[in-house]
A and B are shown apart, each in its own frame.
Chain A
Amino acid sequence: DAGVTQSPTHLIKTRGQQVTLRCSPKSGHDTVSWYQQALGQGPQFIFQYYEEEERQRGNFPDRFSGHQFPNYSSELNVNALLLGDSALYLCASSFNLYEQYFGPGTRLTVT
């Protein structure tokens, strides 16, 4: 049984560009949450998707958007990248919102 998978593993982008990160949840999980983890910090909640709808959103600008597909996989899109967007982006999936399983993350570097 595969756990949460994320792609790509690493990514380097230039300021102003756009990026799409992908997440496949653990089998049987229907809820996907995205977190941003800056170096030396705890993960910060971006948003959560359930039944293809954004259910909750953290304090992130509209440049951050997402999508959930019928197979429960999800994408995180960031437009107009800033240097401060450099971080580890984590996807977490759950079924009953109790125990969240995190993926390995995507390390985004903005230059």
Chain B
Amino acid sequence: GQQVMQIPQYQHVQEGEDFTTYCNSSTTLSNIQWYKQRPGGHPVFLIQLVKSGEVKKQKRLTFQFGEAKKNSSLHITATQTTDVGTYFCAKFGGKLIFGQGTELSVKP
């Protein structure tokens, strides 16, 4: 069964609005990875978080790992049309266990 739950499934925003996707696990995670998959493309690694409460930033993207290491989030500030795609979280233990993904659409 699914070990990593991701919400929302879809998010439609106006360009310039912010976007957040959440990843939750019922068990403690040793790490969480985030991937972006453009329409018709393949998953591309964005980042890995391993420490409790860790926050990492990549330009307009902010990644957080919860204090209990059971949840994570990806926040995009001021979305652009280039942000369109599906964002996946995944737990990694030699193999990747992906969440269902959040599909982001951005209206110009």
Binding site for B on A (CB under 8 A): 33, 35, 41-45, 48, 55-56, 58, 90, 92, 97-105
Given the complex of chains A and B, what is the CA–CA distance between A104 and B41 in angstroms? 6
Contact among B42, B92, B95, B98 for A42, CB-based, below 8 A: B98
Interface footprint category on B = 10 to 19
Contact indicator B45/A101 (Cβ below 8 Å): yes
Let me know if A90 and B42 touch, CB within 8 A: yes
Binding site for A on B (CB under 8 A): 6, 41-45, 48, 88, 90, 92, 94-101
A-B contact count (CB 8 A): 44
A39 to B98, CA, bound (A): 14
Are A48 and B42 also in contact (CB < 8 A) when A42-B101, A98-B48 are? Answer: no
Contact of A102 among B6, B42, B99, B101 (CB under 8 A): B42
Are the C-beta atoms of B48 and A102 separated by less than 8 Å? Answer: no
Q: List 30 A-B contacts (CB under 8 A).
A: A33-B95, A33-B96, A35-B96, A41-B100, A41-B101, A42-B100, A42-B101, A43-B88, A43-B96, A43-B98, A45-B95, A45-B96, A45-B97, A48-B94, A48-B95, A55-B94, A58-B95, A90-B42, A97-B94, A98-B48, A99-B45, A99-B48, A100-B45, A100-B96, A101-B45, A102-B42, A102-B43, A103-B42, A104-B41, A104-B42
